[in-house]
Amino acid sequence: FKDDLSTSPELFTSMSPYDVDLPIETTEDVLFNSQFNQPKELLNDFSSVDLSFLPDITHDKKEQHLPEDGDEMQKEFDGSISGKEDRGTSVDESSLSYPGVTQPSPEASGVCPPLTPMTPMTPVTPASESSGIVPQLQNIVSTVNLACKLDLKNIALHARNAEYNPKRFAAVIMRIREPRTTALIFSSGKMVCTGAKSEEQSRLAARKYARVVQKLGFPAKFLDFKIQNMVGSCDVRFPIRLEGLVLTHQQFSSYEPELFPGLIYRMVKPRIVLLIFVSGKVVLTG
Amino acid sequence: MAYQLYRNTTLGNSLQESLDELIQSQQITPQLALQVLLQFDKAINSALAQRVRNRVNFRGSLNTYRFCDNVWTFVLNDVEFREVTELVKVDKVKIVACDGKSKYDITEY
C-alpha cells in the first residue's frame, strides 16, 4: 500500500514517529502510532545522520541498507511493506487495512498482533516501547575502491604506521589515529576500513587513507564507498533469562552455554544478529 | 649470512672508517675490507647472541611503526632506558629490529 501521509524522504521531516495527524488520540493510538501511521519512506539512509533525537522504538521499518553509491544517498525504497513476511519482529500488517487512513480503525486496533511473548510462531515486540535504550555504535566496517593497482611494498616502505608481511597476509595494514581506524589495503586497489565509531567517521577515515596512497604517487580515486557492517551494543539493565528466550524463540535463537555464554539471536527482519547475555548486555551486528 | 645491521653503529662505523683509511693509503684492497666487514657481521651477531647477558628495559610513546621485509622500524618519543644501574632519557629514538632468537637489536640514537 502507499501511504497518504506526507512522504518526504528527507530524514528530518517535521514528523517524528509520534507526531502524526490524528484527530483523536487514544491510548491505543499512542501505542500503535508509530507502527501504523508513520510515513513509510522515512529514514532510509543513515549514513550521515545523528539519530539521537529519536526515541528508541521497535517498530518495523523497511529494510535499511546503508550503502552509498559513490556520493549519492540512496533515496529509493524497495518494495512495499505488505510484501514482507511476518517474521521476527515484524508486525502482522496484513491483518490491518488502512490504506490512506490516518487513524487506526477500531477493527484494525482490535486485530492487533498478539503482544505476549509466549506465542512461538510469531514473536513480536511490543509496538512502541520508548525504553530510552539506544544502542551505541562500536565498530563500522566499510570498503572502497581506489581504482588503481598498488605497489604494496612501496607503500609499506614509505607510509607511516604500516605493516606488510606478504607471507602471512597479502595486504598492507595501515592505521591512523584520527579517526582511530585500521585499513587493509590490497594490491588490486581495494581497501577495507575498520574501527570507526560512526558511518561518517568511517568515510572520513577511508578518505584519509586514500589521500595517503595518493600522496605516495598512486592515482587513487574513491569509488563505491560502502558500509559493509555496523556493530552496536547496549544494556537493557535487567538480567535476561536466556533459557526462556530460547524456548519461546527457538527458530531464531542458538544458545549453548558450554560453548559460549551468550545467546545468538538471528533476527530475520531486520536481518541482524544479536548476542544476548544474562547480564542484560546486548551486542547487535550485521 | 649474518645481518649487516650492526655496521651502522659506533663500533661498526669506526671499523668502516678505519678500513677506508687503509684503503686510501693502499695498505689493503677494497675486497679485503669487504671480507673484514663480513667477518665483523658474524662476530658481532654471535657476540650479542652468546656473550651479552644484561637486560635493559625501555618505555616510551610510539610515534610511528613500520613492518616490511621482516624488519620492524619504530620511532619512539620521550623514552626512558632503564638498567639496574642507571637511567637514560631521550626525546626520540629510532629502533630498527630484525628477527632474532630472543633479543631485539637497537641501533644508536
Same fold, A142-228 and A236-285: yes
The class (CATH top level) of A142-228 is alpha beta
Q: Which CATH number among 2.30.18.10, 2.60.120.620, 1.20.1260.10, 3.40.50.720 corresponds to the domain B57-98?
A: 2.30.18.10
Q: How many Å apart are CA A222 and CA A126, to the nearest integer?
A: 43
In CATH, what number does A236-285 get?
Answer: 3.30.310.10
Q: Is B99 on the interface with A (CB under 8 A)?
A: no
Strands (E), A65-149: 68-69, 72-73, 136-145
Q: Which of A126-140, A224-238, B39-53 has the weakest average pLDDT?
A: A126-140
Whether A162 and B68 lie within 8 Å, measured CB to CB: yes
Express each pLDDT in A68-85 by its tens digit.
444 444 444 444 444 344
Q: Cβ contacts of residue B58 below 8 Å, gap of 6+?
A: B76, B79, B80, B81, B82, B93
- With cell 645481518, the residue in question is B3
**A183 CB neighbour count, 10 Å cutoff:** 25
Residues of B in contact with A163 (CB under 8 A): 65-68
Q: Is B64 on the interface with A (CB under 8 A)?
A: yes
ipTM greater than 0.90: no
Of A137, A138, A125, the closest CA to residue A267 belongs to A125
pTM to 2 decimal places: 0.62
Residue A185 has pLDDT above 70, yes or no: yes
**CATH fold of the domain at B5-51:** Helix Hairpins (1.10.287)
Express each pLDDT in A26-62 by its tens digit.
444 444 444 444 444 444 455 555 655 655 554 444 4
Whether B64 and A165 lie within 8 Å, measured CB to CB: no
Q: Cβ contacts of residue B39 below 8 Å, gap of 6+?
A: none
Residues of A in contact with B65 (CB under 8 A): 160-161, 163
